[in-house]
Amino acid sequence: MRYVFVLLTALALALIPADPAAAQKKKKKKAPVAQKPSGDENDYYKLLRYTPPEGEVLEAGALEILPGGKIALGTRRGEIWIIENGLTDDPKDAKFKRFAHGMHEILGLASSPKDGWLYVTQRCDVTRVKDSKGKGRADTFEVVADGWEINGDYHEYAFGSRFDKNGNIWITLCLTGSFNSNSKFRGWAGKVTLTPGPSPKGRGETWAFVPTTSGVRSPGGVGFNAEGEVFYTDNQGPWNGTCGLKHITVGGFVGHPGGYKWYSEPEAKYLGAAPLVPKSGSRIMTEAKKIPEFNPTSILFPYGKMGQSASGIDCDLSGGKFGPFEKQLFVGDQTHSTIMRVSLEKINGKYQGACYPFRQGFGSGIVPTRFAPDGSLIAGGTNRGWGSRGNKPFSIERLVWTGKVPFEIHQMKAESDGFTLHFTKPIDPKTAGDKTSYKMETYTYIYQANYGSPEVDRTHPTIDKVTVGSDNKSVRIWVSKLQEGHIHQLTAPGLRSADGLPLLHNVAYYTLNYIPQAR
């Protein structure tokens, strides 16, 4: 991953003028004056910061929720800590206890309540650990599966998911040095799964790593959407003009051809021959039309605008405990120390959608994110070797909804000739129906073997018409000259809610890989 510092551009918030009709000759009840927008994310989602034990370095790499509401924290230094009382109103109630140590850069934890094991993704394998004596620390360690290789390069990370609906753990393997695939299955994703057949003596179940997907470059996290399908974040670099959210499918290719050599390995032969090599200097959608296995990036995070190092993923399945964003994804960014929000939809059988700013101000560079049963979002941070806007070397924080609903673009959905915007609160019909309240531009990135890309192929579509939905919480926007394969950056500085507030975040970025047919 590439991590550099940039300055945050502040959004200007316009104040609403007072209603001149409020002053009349006869004394009447004054018209309500529009509330001054605070523009403060903390009004809606407050950050609670845990204090780790003095002298301990807890560089978060993985999080998992255990039975009873305990939080398991895996660290880059190979330790697992258990946080008790971590879901109270006061983070000072939290108690930390080291559960295991001596492992290697933990970037995945998966709890198995049915058998009491905690499955740990570390650089070289997936190992499961257990407290079999009830003393509060792991005393049993079993290697579950490996099947990939490391050669000592610092960048050969292995990120692991929680269990999916079929009982699998999904693994994403960073390239060697983030550029090349010099070790087996580097630059691939796959699953650790139970396999049929006799179990080795003393091992219990038989597990195996099954490679499924080539094209990974430098992952930052792996998780699931509301339907249980698996996604991971990849970072800017060769064959990645910017950071992105990508859908992992069996037999798919997600962008970087460096790992093609491993299709000849026995474990991968079931996938057939390697896909065609993409042309450097092209565009993603141009190459996706030539390469049947290519899953184009579902969400492109505009570089510098939405972060620089996309990381952990989790889905809000809290049933409204986290506010109005049920079933949307929340994605960390390590460099900017932020949480981003993502809404997805399927067009032509492929996922695409929009990303939105959500919450900044975390103490360190976010790596893992994890929703707790109470609907709060736990985020772990570290900046060692990478740097981050959050100036602490590590952090463990909890984001809690205050109960106040922010005025936000809830979802941006593609249409054949524009977009539909849904909002979290009722809108002012006058400003919402005024096409001058909105601005749009588009751009994309060069798909190339060189590192990253500037924004290219910029266009400025015309917003031709806007109509307000009958629910008074949506608008339909007609746009001329939609651009397939482009990010469509929409800002709405003139839009106001029914009670006179501007949007808390007035920008959305839609990755329009496919233009849908007319509905």
| CA 73 to mean position of chain CA atoms | 19
Whole-angstrom Cα distance, residue 228 to residue 127? 23
**What's the half-sphere exposure (Cβ side, CA atoms, 13 Å) at 159?**
30
Residue 28 lies in a domain: no
Whole-angstrom Cα distance, residue 428 to residue 361? 30
pLDDT for 381 equals 97
* pLDDT at 32 exceeding the cut of 80: no
Residue 8 lies in a domain: no
Task: Answer yes or no: do 216 and 329 share one domain.
Answer: yes
pLDDT tens digit string along 92-141?
Answer: 999 999 999 999 999 999 999 788 899 999 999 999 999 999 999 999 99
pLDDT for 388 equals 96
pLDDT tens digit string along 385-440?
Answer: 889 999 999 999 999 999 999 999 999 999 999 999 999 999 999 999 999 999 99
Task: Answer yes or no: do 345 and 420 share one domain.
Answer: no
- Find out whether 309 and 235 touch, Cβ atoms under 8 Å: yes
Task: Answer yes or no: do 376 and 435 share one domain.
Answer: no
pLDDT for 178 equals 83
Q: What number of other Cβ atoms are within 10 A of residue 434's Cβ?
A: 14
* pLDDT at 1 exceeding the cut of 90: no
Residue 518 lies in a domain: no
Per-residue pLDDT, averaged over 186-204, amounts to: 80
If residue 163 lies in a helix (H) or strand (E), which one and from where to where? Answer: strand 158-163
| CA 17 to mean position of chain CA atoms | 38
Whole-angstrom Cα distance, residue 226 to residue 156? 29
Taking Cα atoms as reference points, which of 165, 85, 73 lies closest to residue 120? Answer: 73
Task: Answer yes or no: do 337 and 414 share one domain.
Answer: no
Task: Answer yes or no: do 268 and 377 share one domain.
Answer: yes
Place of tokens 């609670």: 48
pLDDT tens digit string along 50-67?
Answer: 999 999 999 999 999 999
Place of tokens 């807890």: 58
pLDDT for 7 equals 31
The range of the structural domain enclosing residue 480 comes to 407-512
Q: Which of 102-116, 209-223, 499-513 has the lowest mean pLDDT?
A: 102-116
Domain end marker among 381, 401, 421? 401
Taking Cα atoms as reference points, which of 397, 399, 324 lies closest to residue 49? Answer: 397
- Find out whether 45 and 402 touch, Cβ atoms under 8 Å: yes
Whole-angstrom Cα distance, residue 178 to residue 153? 9
Give the chain's domain count: 2
| CA 262 to mean position of chain CA atoms | 28
pLDDT for 183 equals 96
- Find out whether 255 and 297 touch, Cβ atoms under 8 Å: yes
pLDDT for 122 equals 97
* Amino acid in the structure at residue 199: S
Per-residue pLDDT, averaged over 31-48, amounts to: 71
* pLDDT at 323 exceeding the cut of 80: yes
Percent over 70 (pLDDT), the chain: 91
* pLDDT at 307 exceeding the cut of 80: yes
pLDDT for 78 equals 97
Query: When comparing pLDDT for 296 and 1, which is higher?
Result: 296
Q: How far apart are the first and last CA of the chain?
A: 40
Backbone angles phi and psi of 471, in degrees to 5: -80, -10
pLDDT for 198 equals 64
CATH label of the domain that carries residue 471: 2.60.40.1220
| Band of residue 6 on the pLDDT scale cut at 50, 70, 90 | very low
Between vectors from CA 122 to CA 121 and to CA 127, what angle results, nearest 5°?
60
* Amino acid in the structure at residue 291: I
Task: Answer yes or no: do 49 and 165 share one domain.
Answer: yes
* pLDDT at 384 exceeding the cut of 50: yes
Domain end marker among 401, 424, 448? 401
Task: Answer yes or no: do 52 and 138 share one domain.
Answer: yes
Taking Cα atoms as reference points, which of 294, 299, 293, 298 lies closest to residue 351? Answer: 298
| Strand order, beta sheet including 45-49 | 45-49, 394-401, 377-382, 366-371
| Band of residue 341 on the pLDDT scale cut at 50, 70, 90 | very high
pLDDT for 26 equals 35
Query: When comparing pLDDT for 194 and 6, which is higher?
Result: 194
Task: Answer yes or no: do 175 and 318 share one domain.
Answer: yes
CATH label of the domain that carries residue 289: 2.120.10.30
Query: When comparing pLDDT for 256 and 204, which is higher?
Result: 256
- List beta partners, residue 235: none
| Band of residue 235 on the pLDDT scale cut at 50, 70, 90 | very high
